[in-house]
Amino acid sequence: MRRDRQRGAITPAIAVATLLASVLSIGGITLGTMAVKRRDAQNAADAATLAALQVIKERGMPFDASARELAERIARGNSRSDVRFTWGVTETAGAVDITAVTSIDVDTPLLVWTSGSTEVRARSVSRLPQTKFDSAERRLPKLALVLDYSGSMDLPFTGGSRRAIDVLEDSVTALLNAGLEIDYGASFYSSNVFRNVAIGAGAPNQIITTMNNFDAGGSTNTAEGLAAGRNLLAAAPDTGRYLLLVSDGEPNSMAEARAAAATVWNAGMTIFTLEVRRSGSGPALDQFMTDVAGAPGNRGDRNFHYVATSGADLVNEFRRIVSTIVCKVGPISPAPTDPSELRVFLRQAGAERALEPSADLAADRDLERFRYEPGDASVRLTARACDSVVSGAASIVVRHERAGLTQ
């Protein structure tokens, strides 16, 4: 009788122990499942924020429903679970921050949890650097043309029979008639400076008249030409001061010409050089024209040295040089390590539209286009794109770096 009572007393303890073991086993399995789901949720959150910023980099803001859908589709490829997303967007002048909170449901046994399911969450924050500009430099920049009328300009280009001076005059005339938003002036030199045209509204007609009245002859006093161009710019308001030296020959004194270029830079002015090159041109001229090209903070910059070997080249290079100073924003900081990653947008009323790159800003003046200039890490705009910024209707947003996780 006593043994029977003791045997019956053990049975409930075993039942309780078995139940507890079962609960712990089920709970452990469920906790393991939750850990796996939480990793899934974190992977999806990280992928979501990076995908979202890549979408913004390529398509621009706002981060609307279609952009979210695309980012979520990419992120779901990084999870084996059914994921829900909650988004947050914060923007400053220097970055876009995207926050994604992901949620995944996990089935839970009622024996252990009070409900049949619970939710695991993960959070990720990624940042995309950007540069936002609210204004563009287009306050009628000043350009002084310093034109070589020495005797060698009477010779033809290698690629044609026309005299270099005739092609130069035709090219300058076409430039002045192109309607670009620039205030021009000019210094004409050979053995000395024989004519200056002050920068102002009436300068184009005076420059054309001077070209019609003079011909090539004499030596190449480049130093005096540079000094005269500097004086023309110094007398004009500083709304962007640029000097364009056009020459086909080595100066009478390279040392004096280099010293004259230094005074231009010291006055805060940028020098472009356009070398008229023919079969007899030597490396000394190329080196000199490079040495005196560049911005005040980046002297001797080959990116500011252009070369024409034919009449067609001269026309095209003139257009390229002048179009680069019509409208620009920058410098971009830090400068892009890979310019192909550069994306430029015009933002208007909260929406952005992408600008296509341009090889010729002058030819594309009626389109919204841009060109990146590595020489001063700036973005040049066509006249059409610039109008929207100058009017205050749009701002410029530049993105060129990769997005990265911050949290």
Provide the pLDDT for residue 105.
85
369-373 and 356-357 beta bridge pairing: parallel
The DSSP letter of residue 63 is -
The DSSP-derived string for 301-316 is -GGGEEEESSHHHHHH
Residues 359-368 pLDDT 10s: 888 788 889 9
- Enumerate domains of the chain plus CATH numbers: 2-129 (no CATH), 142-325 (3.40.50.410), 329-405 (no CATH)
Provide the pLDDT for residue 255.
96
The answer to whether 396 and 344 have CB atoms below 8 angstroms apart is: yes
How far apart CA 38 and CA 202 sit, in angstroms, is 73
Residues 136-158 pLDDT 10s: 766 678 999 999 999 999 988 76
The two three-digit tokens of residue 21, written as one number:
């073991």
Angstrom distances, CA of residue 34 to CA of 20, 47, 119: 20, 20, 9
Asked if residue 331 has a cis previous peptide bond (ω within 30° of 0), the answer is yes
Q: What are phi and psi of 39, to 5 degrees?
A: -65, -40
Provide the pLDDT for residue 207.
97
Cβ count within 10 A of residue 160: 13
Provide the pLDDT for residue 68.
93
Provide the pLDDT for residue 333.
83
Q: Which residues, in sequence order, are bridge partners of residue 298?
A: 295
The DSSP letter of residue 140 is -
Provide the pLDDT for residue 85.
93
Angstrom distances, CA of residue 82 to CA of 67, 79, 113, 382: 19, 8, 21, 47
The two three-digit tokens of residue 276, written as one number:
């008229």
Mean pLDDT in consecutive groups of 10 residues from the start of the chain, 407 residues = 51 58 52 74 90 92 93 86 91 92 79 64 92 75 95 80 87 84 93 97 95 96 98 93 94 96 97 86 91 93 88 81 78 86 91 92 87 86 83 85 81
How far apart CA 291 and CA 196 sit, in angstroms, is 25
3-state secondary structure of 274: strand
Residue 347, CA atoms < 13 Å, CB-side half-sphere: 19
CB-based burial, 267-292: b 16+ in 10 Å, e otherwise: eebbbbbbbbbbeebeeebbebbbbb
